[in-house]
Chain A
Protein backbone atom coordinates (compact mmCIF):
# COMPACT_ATOMS: atom_id res chain seq x y z
CA UNK A 1 0.00 0.00 0.00
CA UNK A 2 1.28 3.43 -0.85
CA UNK A 3 0.11 6.95 -1.62
CA UNK A 4 -0.04 8.76 -4.91
CA UNK A 5 -0.90 12.35 -5.70
CA UNK A 6 -4.33 13.24 -7.06
CA UNK A 7 -5.22 16.60 -8.58
CA UNK A 8 -8.71 18.00 -8.14
CA UNK A 9 -8.96 19.25 -11.70
CA UNK A 10 -12.06 21.36 -11.14
CA UNK A 11 -10.22 23.34 -8.49
CA UNK A 12 -6.96 23.45 -10.43
CA UNK A 13 -8.65 24.72 -13.59
CA UNK A 14 -9.75 27.83 -11.68
CA UNK A 15 -6.18 29.10 -11.79
CA UNK A 16 -3.79 29.93 -14.55
CA UNK A 17 -1.06 27.75 -13.13
CA UNK A 18 1.30 24.88 -13.94
CA UNK A 19 3.70 25.35 -11.03
CA UNK A 20 3.57 21.90 -9.47
CA UNK A 21 4.40 20.24 -12.80
CA UNK A 22 7.68 22.15 -12.80
CA UNK A 23 8.78 20.82 -9.40
CA UNK A 24 7.96 17.10 -9.44
CA UNK A 25 11.26 15.17 -9.20
CA UNK A 26 10.00 12.63 -11.74
CA UNK A 27 9.86 13.42 -15.45
CA UNK A 28 6.71 12.61 -17.46
CA UNK A 29 4.67 12.14 -14.25
CA UNK A 30 2.91 15.29 -13.11
CA UNK A 31 1.60 16.54 -16.43
CA UNK A 32 -0.25 19.62 -17.58
CA UNK A 33 -3.27 19.47 -19.84
CA UNK A 34 -3.38 22.76 -21.70
CA UNK A 35 -6.88 22.29 -23.07
CA UNK A 36 -8.43 21.47 -19.70
CA UNK A 37 -6.11 23.99 -17.98
CA UNK A 38 -5.29 21.50 -15.24
CA UNK A 39 -2.42 19.37 -14.07
CA UNK A 40 -2.87 15.61 -13.74
CA UNK A 41 -0.86 12.72 -12.36
CA UNK A 42 0.27 9.60 -14.20
CA UNK A 43 -0.29 7.45 -11.12
CA UNK A 44 1.85 4.55 -12.32
CA UNK A 45 4.87 6.84 -12.24
CA UNK A 46 4.14 8.86 -9.09
CA UNK A 47 6.44 7.98 -6.18
CA UNK A 48 4.27 9.60 -3.54
CA UNK A 49 6.76 12.18 -2.27
CA UNK A 50 4.13 14.93 -1.81
CA UNK A 51 6.47 17.65 -3.07
CA UNK A 52 3.62 18.75 -5.33
CA UNK A 53 1.40 19.15 -2.26
CA UNK A 54 4.05 21.41 -0.74
CA UNK A 55 4.02 23.52 -3.91
CA UNK A 56 0.24 23.74 -4.31
CA UNK A 57 -0.73 23.98 -0.65
CA UNK A 58 2.19 25.45 1.31
CA UNK A 59 3.61 27.76 -1.35
CA UNK A 60 0.52 28.75 -3.33
CA UNK A 61 -2.29 28.11 -0.82
CA UNK A 62 -4.46 26.51 -3.50
CA UNK A 63 -4.96 23.07 -1.96
CA UNK A 64 -5.74 21.25 -5.20
CA UNK A 65 -3.60 18.15 -4.60
CA UNK A 66 -4.16 15.40 -2.07
CA UNK A 67 -2.23 12.22 -1.36
CA UNK A 68 -4.45 9.20 -1.67
CA UNK A 69 -3.98 5.53 -1.01
CA UNK A 70 -3.64 3.56 -4.20
CA UNK A 71 -6.62 1.35 -4.80
CA UNK A 72 -6.45 -1.82 -6.84
CA UNK A 73 -7.28 -1.38 -10.48
CA UNK A 74 -10.72 -2.61 -11.48
CA UNK A 75 -10.88 -5.25 -14.16
Chain B
Protein backbone atom coordinates (compact mmCIF):
# COMPACT_ATOMS: atom_id res chain seq x y z
CA UNK B 1 0.00 0.00 0.00
CA UNK B 2 0.93 3.63 -0.09
CA UNK B 3 -0.68 6.93 0.78
CA UNK B 4 -1.64 7.42 -2.85
CA UNK B 5 -3.29 4.03 -2.98
CA UNK B 6 -5.33 4.64 0.18
CA UNK B 7 -6.58 8.13 -0.70
CA UNK B 8 -9.72 8.12 -2.88
CA UNK B 9 -10.57 10.78 -5.44
CA UNK B 10 -12.58 13.52 -3.73
CA UNK B 11 -15.60 12.94 -6.02
CA UNK B 12 -15.59 9.22 -5.38
CA UNK B 13 -15.78 9.59 -1.59
CA UNK B 14 -19.57 9.69 -1.40
CA UNK B 15 -19.79 6.17 -2.82
CA UNK B 16 -17.41 4.70 -0.25
CA UNK B 17 -18.28 3.30 3.20
CA UNK B 18 -18.42 6.04 5.83
CA UNK B 19 -15.87 4.33 8.06
CA UNK B 20 -13.34 4.26 5.25
CA UNK B 21 -13.77 7.92 4.39
CA UNK B 22 -13.46 8.81 8.08
CA UNK B 23 -10.23 6.85 8.22
CA UNK B 24 -8.79 8.75 5.29
CA UNK B 25 -9.97 12.14 6.56
CA UNK B 26 -9.47 11.74 10.31
CA UNK B 27 -7.17 8.73 10.60
CA UNK B 28 -3.42 8.53 11.07
CA UNK B 29 -2.42 7.97 7.43
CA UNK B 30 0.29 10.37 6.40
CA UNK B 31 0.20 12.13 9.77
CA UNK B 32 2.83 12.63 12.45
CA UNK B 33 2.62 11.16 15.95
CA UNK B 34 1.93 14.65 17.32
CA UNK B 35 -1.16 14.83 15.12
CA UNK B 36 -2.42 11.26 15.46
CA UNK B 37 -0.41 9.13 17.85
CA UNK B 38 -0.80 7.31 21.18
CA UNK B 39 -0.82 10.59 23.14
CA UNK B 40 -4.09 11.72 21.55
CA UNK B 41 -5.91 8.45 21.06
CA UNK B 42 -9.63 9.15 21.29
CA UNK B 43 -9.23 12.31 19.21
CA UNK B 44 -8.65 10.78 15.76
CA UNK B 45 -10.07 7.81 13.90
CA UNK B 46 -7.94 4.84 14.89
CA UNK B 47 -6.93 2.03 12.56
CA UNK B 48 -8.38 -0.80 14.63
CA UNK B 49 -12.08 -1.37 14.09
CA UNK B 50 -14.63 -3.30 16.17
CA UNK B 51 -13.50 -6.84 16.93
CA UNK B 52 -14.62 -9.82 19.02
CA UNK B 53 -11.84 -9.92 21.65
CA UNK B 54 -13.14 -10.15 25.22
CA UNK B 55 -14.24 -7.21 27.34
CA UNK B 56 -11.30 -5.63 29.15
CA UNK B 57 -8.66 -7.64 27.28
CA UNK B 58 -5.20 -6.15 27.82
CA UNK B 59 -4.03 -7.82 24.63
CA UNK B 60 -6.69 -5.90 22.71
CA UNK B 61 -5.45 -2.76 24.44
CA UNK B 62 -1.82 -3.36 23.46
CA UNK B 63 -2.87 -4.05 19.87
CA UNK B 64 -4.66 -0.69 19.87
CA UNK B 65 -1.42 0.88 21.07
CA UNK B 66 0.71 -0.90 18.45
CA UNK B 67 -1.42 0.46 15.63
CA UNK B 68 -1.43 3.98 17.06
CA UNK B 69 2.37 3.88 17.34
CA UNK B 70 3.20 2.76 13.79
CA UNK B 71 5.66 5.18 12.18
CA UNK B 72 4.07 4.73 8.76
CA UNK B 73 0.84 2.69 8.70
CA UNK B 74 0.33 3.16 4.97
CA UNK B 75 3.63 1.37 4.30
CA UNK B 76 3.22 -1.38 6.89
CA UNK B 77 2.23 -5.04 6.64
CA UNK B 78 1.46 -7.17 9.70
CA UNK B 79 1.56 -10.95 9.90
CA UNK B 80 0.04 -13.17 12.53
CA UNK B 81 -1.32 -16.55 13.34
CA UNK B 82 -4.12 -18.37 15.18
CA UNK B 83 -4.71 -17.01 18.68
CA UNK B 84 -6.77 -14.23 20.19
CA UNK B 85 -4.75 -11.30 18.87
CA UNK B 86 -5.48 -11.93 15.22
CA UNK B 87 -9.16 -11.27 15.92
CA UNK B 88 -8.33 -7.57 16.36
CA UNK B 89 -5.21 -7.31 14.17
CA UNK B 90 -7.25 -8.52 11.21
CA UNK B 91 -9.75 -5.69 11.81
CA UNK B 92 -7.17 -2.93 11.41
CA UNK B 93 -6.85 -0.91 8.23
CA UNK B 94 -3.37 -2.27 7.59
CA UNK B 95 -2.78 -5.32 5.36
CA UNK B 96 -2.60 -8.45 7.50
CA UNK B 97 -1.29 -11.84 6.40
CA UNK B 98 -2.45 -14.94 8.20
CA UNK B 99 -0.96 -18.30 7.34
CA UNK B 100 -0.60 -21.70 8.93
CA UNK B 101 -0.13 -21.88 12.68
CA UNK B 102 3.18 -20.44 13.79
CA UNK B 103 4.65 -19.62 10.37
CA UNK B 104 4.42 -15.83 10.71
CA UNK B 105 8.17 -15.28 11.01
CA UNK B 106 8.90 -17.54 8.03
CA UNK B 107 6.41 -15.63 5.88
CA UNK B 108 7.71 -12.30 7.13
CA UNK B 109 11.25 -13.32 6.13
CA UNK B 110 10.21 -13.79 2.53
CA UNK B 111 8.02 -10.71 2.51
CA UNK B 112 10.56 -8.30 3.95
CA UNK B 113 13.20 -9.55 1.51
CA UNK B 114 10.80 -9.23 -1.41
CA UNK B 115 9.88 -5.67 -0.39
CA UNK B 116 13.53 -4.67 -0.34
CA UNK B 117 13.97 -6.01 -3.89
CA UNK B 118 10.67 -4.73 -5.30
CA UNK B 119 10.70 -1.30 -3.61
CA UNK B 120 14.37 -0.39 -3.18
CA UNK B 121 13.48 3.30 -2.93
CA UNK B 122 10.82 2.85 -0.24
CA UNK B 123 10.73 1.92 3.43
CA UNK B 124 8.26 -0.88 4.11
CA UNK B 125 7.69 -2.05 7.68
CA UNK B 126 7.02 -5.74 8.30
CA UNK B 127 5.82 -6.73 11.77
CA UNK B 128 4.78 -10.11 13.11
CA UNK B 129 2.34 -10.00 16.02
CA UNK B 130 1.48 -13.34 17.59
CA UNK B 131 0.74 -15.02 20.89
CA UNK B 132 3.15 -16.82 23.18
CA UNK B 133 2.01 -20.18 21.79
CA UNK B 134 2.41 -18.98 18.22
CA UNK B 135 5.80 -17.35 18.81
CA UNK B 136 7.57 -19.52 21.38
CA UNK B 137 5.90 -22.96 21.14
CA UNK B 138 4.37 -24.05 17.87
CA UNK B 139 6.13 -21.38 15.78
CA UNK B 140 9.37 -21.65 17.75
CA UNK B 141 11.62 -23.02 15.01
CA UNK B 142 10.45 -20.44 12.51
CA UNK B 143 10.83 -17.63 15.03
CA UNK B 144 14.35 -18.72 15.99
CA UNK B 145 15.54 -19.31 12.44
CA UNK B 146 14.32 -15.93 11.23
CA UNK B 147 16.44 -14.38 13.98
CA UNK B 148 19.42 -16.63 13.31
CA UNK B 149 19.30 -15.61 9.63
CA UNK B 150 19.26 -11.97 10.69
CA UNK B 151 15.98 -11.14 8.93
CA UNK B 152 15.19 -7.45 9.17
CA UNK B 153 11.70 -7.16 10.61
CA UNK B 154 10.02 -6.76 13.99
CA UNK B 155 8.59 -9.60 16.07
CA UNK B 156 6.07 -8.73 18.78
CA UNK B 157 4.99 -11.46 21.19
CA UNK B 158 1.65 -10.93 22.93
CA UNK B 159 2.38 -12.95 26.05
CA UNK B 160 -0.74 -13.81 28.05
CA UNK B 161 1.09 -16.84 29.49
CA UNK B 162 -1.50 -19.29 28.18
CA UNK B 163 -3.24 -20.56 25.06
CA UNK B 164 -6.16 -18.20 25.48
CA UNK B 165 -7.96 -18.80 22.23
CA UNK B 166 -8.29 -22.55 22.76
CA UNK B 167 -9.41 -22.45 26.37
CA UNK B 168 -6.46 -22.55 28.75
CA UNK B 169 -3.62 -24.93 27.88
CA UNK B 170 -0.23 -24.10 29.42
CA UNK B 171 2.39 -22.65 27.10
CA UNK B 172 6.16 -22.49 27.30
CA UNK B 173 5.63 -18.94 28.53
CA UNK B 174 3.27 -19.86 31.40
CA UNK B 175 5.03 -19.38 34.72
CA UNK B 176 6.03 -22.40 36.78
CA UNK B 177 3.17 -23.55 38.98
CA UNK B 178 0.43 -21.83 36.94
CA UNK B 179 -2.82 -23.73 37.38
CA UNK B 180 -4.87 -23.50 34.24
CA UNK B 181 -8.03 -25.18 33.04
CA UNK B 182 -6.03 -27.66 31.03
CA UNK B 183 -3.04 -27.77 33.36
CA UNK B 184 -4.93 -28.60 36.57
CA UNK B 185 -1.87 -29.81 38.49
CA UNK B 186 0.05 -26.65 37.74
CA UNK B 187 2.81 -26.17 35.21
CA UNK B 188 5.89 -28.23 36.03
CA UNK B 189 8.56 -26.44 33.98
CA UNK B 190 9.94 -22.90 34.04
CA UNK B 191 8.82 -19.95 31.94
CA UNK B 192 10.95 -19.77 28.80
CA UNK B 193 13.57 -16.97 28.78
CA UNK B 194 12.28 -15.36 25.60
CA UNK B 195 14.47 -12.24 25.42
CA UNK B 196 17.62 -14.21 26.27
CA UNK B 197 16.81 -16.66 23.48
CA UNK B 198 16.24 -13.74 21.12
CA UNK B 199 19.59 -12.21 22.01
CA UNK B 200 21.39 -15.53 21.60
CA UNK B 201 19.75 -15.98 18.20
CA UNK B 202 20.97 -12.58 16.99
CA UNK B 203 18.23 -10.05 17.66
CA UNK B 204 19.85 -6.63 17.71
CA UNK B 205 17.16 -5.01 19.86
CA UNK B 206 14.98 -6.74 22.48
CA UNK B 207 12.59 -5.46 25.11
CA UNK B 208 10.58 -7.16 27.79
CA UNK B 209 7.83 -5.03 29.25
CA UNK B 210 4.36 -4.70 30.63
CA UNK B 211 2.68 -1.93 28.67
CA UNK B 212 1.35 0.38 31.38
CA UNK B 213 3.04 3.62 30.36
CA UNK B 214 1.77 4.74 26.96
CA UNK B 215 4.66 6.99 26.04
CA UNK B 216 7.21 4.35 26.91
CA UNK B 217 5.34 1.50 25.21
CA UNK B 218 4.95 3.56 22.03
CA UNK B 219 8.60 4.57 22.04
CA UNK B 220 9.65 0.92 22.30
CA UNK B 221 7.39 -0.16 19.42
CA UNK B 222 8.84 2.57 17.22
CA UNK B 223 12.42 1.82 18.22
CA UNK B 224 11.93 -1.84 17.32
CA UNK B 225 10.57 -0.84 13.91
CA UNK B 226 13.28 1.75 13.15
CA UNK B 227 16.08 -0.64 14.08
CA UNK B 228 14.60 -3.49 12.00
CA UNK B 229 14.57 -1.23 8.95
CA UNK B 230 18.33 -0.86 9.00
CA UNK B 231 20.12 -3.26 11.29
CA UNK B 232 18.49 -6.63 11.94
CA UNK B 233 15.78 -8.58 13.77
CA UNK B 234 14.08 -6.88 16.72
CA UNK B 235 11.84 -8.40 19.39
CA UNK B 236 9.30 -7.09 21.87
CA UNK B 237 8.06 -9.41 24.58
CA UNK B 238 4.95 -7.76 26.03
CA UNK B 239 2.70 -8.80 28.88
CA UNK B 240 -0.86 -8.80 27.60
CA UNK B 241 -2.95 -10.55 30.24
CA UNK B 242 -5.81 -12.95 29.57
CA UNK B 243 -8.45 -11.94 32.09
CA UNK B 244 -10.55 -14.98 31.20
CA UNK B 245 -8.00 -17.77 31.74
CA UNK B 246 -6.33 -16.09 34.72
CA UNK B 247 -9.64 -14.96 36.24
CA UNK B 248 -8.77 -11.28 36.55
CA UNK B 249 -11.83 -9.05 37.11
CA UNK B 250 -11.83 -6.69 34.11
CA UNK B 251 -11.68 -3.53 36.20
CA UNK B 252 -8.45 -4.85 37.77
CA UNK B 253 -6.69 -5.63 34.49
CA UNK B 254 -4.62 -2.43 34.49
CA UNK B 255 -3.63 -2.92 38.13
CA UNK B 256 -2.55 -6.48 37.30
CA UNK B 257 -0.38 -5.21 34.43
CA UNK B 258 1.28 -2.78 36.86
CA UNK B 259 1.89 -5.54 39.36
CA UNK B 260 3.46 -7.80 36.72
CA UNK B 261 5.79 -4.96 35.82
CA UNK B 262 7.34 -5.38 39.25
CA UNK B 263 7.76 -9.15 38.95
CA UNK B 264 7.96 -11.30 35.82
CA UNK B 265 7.80 -8.42 33.36
CA UNK B 266 10.34 -6.03 34.78
CA UNK B 267 11.43 -3.65 32.07
CA UNK B 268 14.51 -4.87 30.21
CA UNK B 269 15.92 -3.24 27.09
CA UNK B 270 18.87 -4.59 25.12
CA UNK B 271 20.47 -3.09 22.03
CA UNK B 272 23.62 -3.55 20.04
CA UNK B 273 25.84 -0.56 19.26
CA UNK B 274 24.52 -0.43 15.71
CA UNK B 275 20.94 -0.43 17.00
CA UNK B 276 21.77 2.33 19.45
CA UNK B 277 23.19 4.46 16.68
CA UNK B 278 19.96 4.18 14.67
CA UNK B 279 17.79 4.97 17.68
CA UNK B 280 19.79 8.04 18.63
CA UNK B 281 19.81 9.34 15.07
CA UNK B 282 16.10 8.76 14.36
CA UNK B 283 14.93 10.14 17.69
CA UNK B 284 17.06 13.26 17.25
CA UNK B 285 15.60 13.75 13.76
CA UNK B 286 12.06 13.31 15.06
CA UNK B 287 12.64 15.77 17.86
CA UNK B 288 14.04 18.36 15.49
CA UNK B 289 11.14 17.89 13.04
CA UNK B 290 8.56 18.21 15.82
CA UNK B 291 10.25 21.38 17.08
CA UNK B 292 10.31 22.86 13.59
CA UNK B 293 6.61 22.09 13.10
CA UNK B 294 5.72 23.73 16.39
CA UNK B 295 7.76 26.81 15.54
CA UNK B 296 6.11 26.99 12.11
CA UNK B 297 2.58 26.79 13.50
CA UNK B 298 3.44 29.43 16.08
CA UNK B 299 4.73 31.72 13.34
CA UNK B 300 1.52 31.11 11.39
CA UNK B 301 -0.61 32.03 14.39
CA UNK B 302 1.16 35.37 14.82
Q: Which residues of B contact A32 (CB under 8 A)?
A: 40, 42-43
Given contacts A21-B42, A47-B55, A47-B56, contact A27 B254 (CB under 8 A): no
B198 in contact (CB, < 8 A): no
Q: Is the CB of A25 within 8 A of B64?
A: yes
Q: Which residues of chain A are within 8 angstroms of B47 by Cβ–Cβ distance?
A: 27
Pick the contact of A22 from B58, B214, B255 — CB < 8 Å? Answer: B214
A59 CA to B64 CA in the complex, in Å?
Answer: 21
B50 within 8 A of A: yes
Instruction: Identify 27 residue pairs between A and B in the complex whose beta-carbon atoms are under 8 Å apart, listed by A's number.
Output: A18-B42, A22-B39, A23-B214, A25-B58, A25-B61, A25-B64, A26-B60, A26-B64, A27-B41, A27-B46, A28-B49, A28-B50, A32-B42, A39-B42, A47-B54, A48-B55, A49-B56, A49-B250, A50-B250, A51-B61, A51-B250, A51-B251, A51-B253, A54-B254, A54-B255, A55-B254, A59-B254
Q: Please, which residues of chain B bring their CB within 8 A of the CB of A54? A: 251-252, 254-255
Known: A49-B250, A51-B250. A27 touches B64 (CB 8 A): yes
Could you tell me the distance in whole angstroms from the C-beta of A16 to the nearest C-beta in chain B? 14
Q: Are B67 and A27 closer than 8 Å at their CB atoms?
A: yes
- List which B5-64 residues lie within 8 A (CB) of chain A: 38-43, 45-50, 53-58, 60-61, 64
A35-73 interface code vs B (CB 8 A; 1 in, 0 out): 000010000010111110111001100000000000000
Q: Are A45 and B50 in contact, CB atoms less than 8 angstroms apart?
A: yes
